[in-house]
Amino acid sequence: MRKVELLAPAGDLERLKIAFTYGADAVYLGGEIFGMRSAAKNFSKEDMIEGVKFAHERGKQVFVTINIIPRSNEFEQLKDYLLELNEIGVDAVIVSDPGVFATVKEIIPNMEIHISTQASTTNSGGANFWYNHGAKRVVMARELSFKEIKELRDNTPEDMDIEAFIHGAMCMSYSGKCVISNYTTGRDANRGSCAQSCRWKYTLMEENSPGEYESVIEGIDSSFFFNSKDLCMIEYIPEIFESGITSLKIEGRMKTAYYVATTVRAYRMAIDTYYADPENWKFNPMWLDELKKGSHRDYSTGFFFDRPDANSHNYKSASYIRNYDFIGIVRANKDESGLVTVEQRNKMNVGDKIEVIGPFKETMFTSIEEMYNEDGDPIESAPHARQIVKLKLGIDVEKDYILRKPIININTI
């Protein structure tokens, strides 16, 4: 069976390592320039070198975004940056601008090129254009259905990769072409500074006569009418394979290491289960439950089955749903005293009932039996950010396992 690639976001070096540890085949990331996520930490040259080394030692790949639309005066800097990426050994660059594409071919002709979703490729003619000019992969516009992707796949070369977003935040506008942020705040979405103006609360009114206004949209309690739900396709792994998609892309370079771990882990389990027995693959609700234990909005299937309708938006709130706290990550295995070293991420206390997740493992349930500070003194809680503690958990855990606990809503007690 043809293998599909599970492609994860990496906002920094820690998230890159977590993505690979939890089952990603490749990551995409941005350097300090030319990427569309300026608010992410992104990668210095030194971090990128370490990240690429970490990936290649495990047979994994690293793709770097150069998907802004640059100004003419930026091209000299681009040339130097491309030479640097080539020296580091990244596996591909992701571009959307034809001028950037041509510069990559000129400066580092052997570099693999992926065409960004920002290029809005919606048909086989466009995909073939990029392939015939030297692109290895085309990332689909998010506005395509399974049927349209299959038609495109049937009319493009077999060795051209097709990548598509299958999970994460959706943009209310056509493949990221929104200019509301530019207009309302002066922050350019194509420069990675989108203010997410589509998540704001609006009132849409119509003037019937001078000074008299009526609401245009009836039957909506609130006015988050641009606020799209998140994309989630974990229930449709067979359809993804049948469509001809070769790379399954998770959105979220701004998201936490916990988000990366939970999302990659869930899709890895779903994909591997399909590989094991395609004919009898059955969706496991536990995978979706796992995705819901990360910070998320309500889910939808985007454009994959039809044009989105009112059910693809949340008109009442733009807030994330958060039911669990990421409280710590294991930094060292159990010592001779039976204690594991944990880096705190949110407050934890002795006696907390917690869940522990690890790569390729079922979720484990336990409680924090004992806790000690770095000096070995017993403590009752770890309230300080990034505090290093030692825990007795009563179960076997390993480095990079993640600890979480449910958020207790006092209104339900």
User: Domain-by-domain residue ranges, the chain?
Assistant: 5-171+228-309, 196-227, 324-412
**Stretch 345-353: mean pLDDT:** 97
CATH architecture of 324-412: Beta Barrel (2.40)
CA 163/CA 117 separation, integer angstroms: 9
**Stretch 337-357: mean pLDDT:** 97
Assign 222 a pLDDT band (cuts: 50, 70, 90): low
Q: How far is CA 244 from CA 17, 156, 157, in A?
A: 28, 11, 12
Q: What is the mean pLDDT of the chain?
A: 90
> What pTM, to 2 d.p., does this model score?
0.91
| pLDDT above 90 for 246 | yes
Assign 409 a pLDDT band (cuts: 50, 70, 90): low
CA 285/CA 308 separation, integer angstroms: 23
Q: Tell me what pLDDT residue 208 has.
A: 81
Q: CB atoms < 10 A from the CB of 32, how many?
A: 14
- 5-171+228-309: what fold? TIM Barrel (3.20.20)
Q: Which residues of 314-324 are buried (b: 16+ CB within 10 A; e: fewer)?
A: bbeebeeeeeb
Q: Crossing angle for the helix pair 257-276 and 13-21, nearest 10 degrees? A: 20
| pLDDT above 50 for 40 | no
Helix (H) or strand (E) holding 250: strand 247-250
Q: Please tell me the least confidently modeled range out of 63-72, 244-253, 376-385.
A: 63-72
Specify whether the CB–CB gap between 94 and 112 falls below 8 A: no
Assign 413 a pLDDT band (cuts: 50, 70, 90): very low
Alpha helix (H) residue ranges in 146-187: 146-154, 180-185
Q: Tell me the pLDDT tens digit for each residue of 177-210.
A: 777 878 788 877 766 677 788 888 887 778 888 8
Q: Tell me what pLDDT residue 282 has.
A: 97
Using DSSP, state whether 185 is helix, strand or coil.
helix
Using DSSP, state whether 32 is helix, strand or coil.
coil
| pLDDT above 50 for 233 | yes
| pLDDT above 80 for 1 | no
| pLDDT above 50 for 338 | yes
Using DSSP, state whether 167 is helix, strand or coil.
strand
